[in-house]
């Protein structure tokens, strides 16, 4: 891997927009961010053509892509296919997400995620969404596999090790006292989702180490006048993060605007919750033995139950501007910097800064993806000339 520059573009460094600046990359890292005129003349360069260079998008909840559902392909090849599909839309870091499944499938998925850390560009770990969920809020998750934690669940959920990030979505009310604390102390990130927990039950979970809320509003106890529920607890807490699916189907835009204003700054992040439809053709698919239909930008069962999404991160950024009225800068932070901080990776991802990983996205005026870099390497599927 060589030393080169990214020149003649605007740069969003994670905090502010910079004109007439260039980014120097050495190997897989950002060497410096400097004025355009300071770039050494002999250094090979990518001409960005006036495009916008931003930190790479990070998706903490991606179930599938390119026709592949992680549950159906819990192996390295499946993770790689999902990563390639979402990279086209600016995702340079992702957490392959396993929907509630049998123990054997969970074990295979964790082994695959451990191997993918070494071989799949952008793979950051694993997100286990279930199976320790509340049947009353199961959504599309098969009730037959939902269960309380097994006696050795801690060993299972820490199987990835410390080299990658493990995120577990669970319903606090179906787990025994102290379970969340033990996961937290073992380095596992814990999020509440598919939960009927009360405000007080969520409060107890936050004290034990609960770190986030999976697809806020969806499949969780709502905020009402005398029962704040999981949603109320999420918005009331200043230290946890919330994942938002900004597709215009999962949550009404007005509800998202209110929630963003209510939550502490920097704690709302975009997720796709994408299933295998992203980057794939067709209208009908299968999800864990259930028929699902893609139509009008959403994915649901024939009965109308939402079954993940057909969303990609670049579309989520555009939607946050068009549907929610958010500034471009904040929309970009919600797609990169905030999820990096949630995952504990904020010292190397989510900004364009010296010493950070060279994981970047080039956007055109319409915020469409023109190129991505992961650890300094451009996407070979998106040819981009280098000069010098």
Catalytic residues: 273
The verdict on whether residue 140 carries a ligand-binding annotation is yes
The verdict on whether residue 218 carries a ligand-binding annotation is yes
Among positive and negative, which fits the CA dihedral 285, 288, 290, 292? Answer: negative
Q: Which stretches within the chain are classed as H helix?
A: 76-87, 103-119, 153-157, 179-185, 199-208, 229-236, 253-262, 313-322, 328-335, 337-342
The verdict on whether residue 122 carries a ligand-binding annotation is no
The verdict on whether residue 123 carries a ligand-binding annotation is no
Structure-block tokens of residue 17: 């927009």
Cis, bond preceding 274 (omega within 30 deg of 0): no
Residue 67's alpha-carbon distances to 119, 199, 219, 239, 307, in angstroms, are 21, 38, 25, 36, 15
Query: Within 10 Å of residue 327's Cβ, how many Cβ atoms?
Result: 10
The verdict on whether residue 129 carries a ligand-binding annotation is yes
Cα–Cα distance measured from residue 4 to residue 384, given in angstroms and rounded to the nearest whole number = 14
Give the residue from 118, 97, 132 showing the smallest Cα distance to 164: 118
Cα–Cα distance measured from residue 230 to residue 179, given in angstroms and rounded to the nearest whole number = 18
The verdict on whether residue 208 carries a ligand-binding annotation is no
Query: Within 10 Å of residue 187's Cβ, how many Cβ atoms?
Result: 13
Structure-block tokens of residue 94: 């992702």
Cα–Cα distance measured from residue 95 to residue 97, given in angstroms and rounded to the nearest whole number = 6
The verdict on whether residue 184 carries a ligand-binding annotation is no
Cα–Cα distance measured from residue 213 to residue 193, given in angstroms and rounded to the nearest whole number = 6
Give the residue from 346, 279, 257 showing the smallest Cα distance to 58: 346
Give the residue from 132, 114, 123, 139 showing the smallest Cα distance to 62: 123
The residues near 347 (Cβ < 8 Å, ≥ 6 apart) are none
The verdict on whether residue 194 carries a ligand-binding annotation is yes
The verdict on whether residue 286 carries a ligand-binding annotation is no
Place of tokens 């694993």: 126
| Binding-site entries for Zn(2+) | 129, 194, 215
| Binding-site entries for substrate | 140, 218-219, 226, 250, 306-308
| Binding-site entries | 129, 140, 194, 215, 218-219, 226, 250, 306-308
């Amino acid at each position: 891997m060589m030393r080169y520059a990214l020149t003649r573009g605007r740069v969003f460094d994670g905090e502010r927009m910079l004109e007439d600046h260039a980014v120097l990359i050495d190997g897989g890292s950002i060497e410096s961010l400097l004025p355009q005129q300071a770039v050494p003349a002999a250094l090979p360069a990518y001409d960005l053509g006036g495009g916008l260079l931003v930190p790479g998008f990070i998706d903490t909840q991606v179930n599938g892509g390119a026709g592949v559902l992680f549950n159906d392909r819990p192996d390295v090849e499946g993770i790689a296919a999902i990563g390639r599909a979402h990279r086209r839309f600016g995702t340079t870091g992702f957490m392959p997400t396993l929907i509630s499944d049998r123990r054997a499938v969970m074990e295979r998925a964790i082994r695959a995620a451990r191997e993918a850390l070494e071989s799949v560009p952008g793979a950051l770990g694993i997100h286990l969404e279930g199976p320790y969920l509340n049947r009353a809020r199961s959504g599309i998750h098969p009730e037959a596999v939902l269960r309380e934690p097994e006696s050795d669940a801690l060993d299972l959920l820490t199987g990835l090790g410390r080299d990658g990030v493990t995120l577990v979505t669970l319903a606090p009310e179906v787990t025994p006292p102290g379970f969340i604390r033990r996961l937290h102390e073992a380095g596992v990130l814990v999020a509440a989702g598919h939960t009927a927990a009360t405000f007080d039950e969520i409060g107890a979970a936050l004290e034990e180490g609960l770190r986030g809320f999976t697809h806020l509003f969806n499949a969780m106890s709502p905020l009402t006048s005398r029962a704040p529920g999981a949603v109320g607890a999420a918005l009331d807490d200043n230290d946890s993060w919330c994942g938002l699916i900004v597709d215009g189907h999962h949550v009404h835009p007005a509800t998202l605007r209110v929630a963003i204003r209510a939550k502490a700054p920097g704690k709302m992040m975009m997720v796709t919750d994408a299933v295998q439809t992203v980057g794939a053709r067709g209208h009908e698919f299968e999800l864990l033995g259930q028929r699902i239909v893609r139509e009008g930008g959403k994915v649901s069962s024939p009965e109308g139950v939402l079954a993940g999404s057909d969303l990609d991160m670049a579309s989520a950024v555009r939607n946050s501007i068009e549907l929610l009225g958010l500034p471009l800068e904040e929309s970009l932070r919600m797609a990169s910097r905030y999820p990096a901080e949630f995952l504990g990776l904020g010292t190397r991802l989510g900004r364009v800064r010296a010493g950070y990983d060279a994981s970047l996205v080039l956007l055109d005026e319409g915020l469409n993806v023109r190129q991505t870099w992961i650890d300094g390497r451009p996407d070979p599927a998106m040819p981009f000339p280098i000069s010098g």
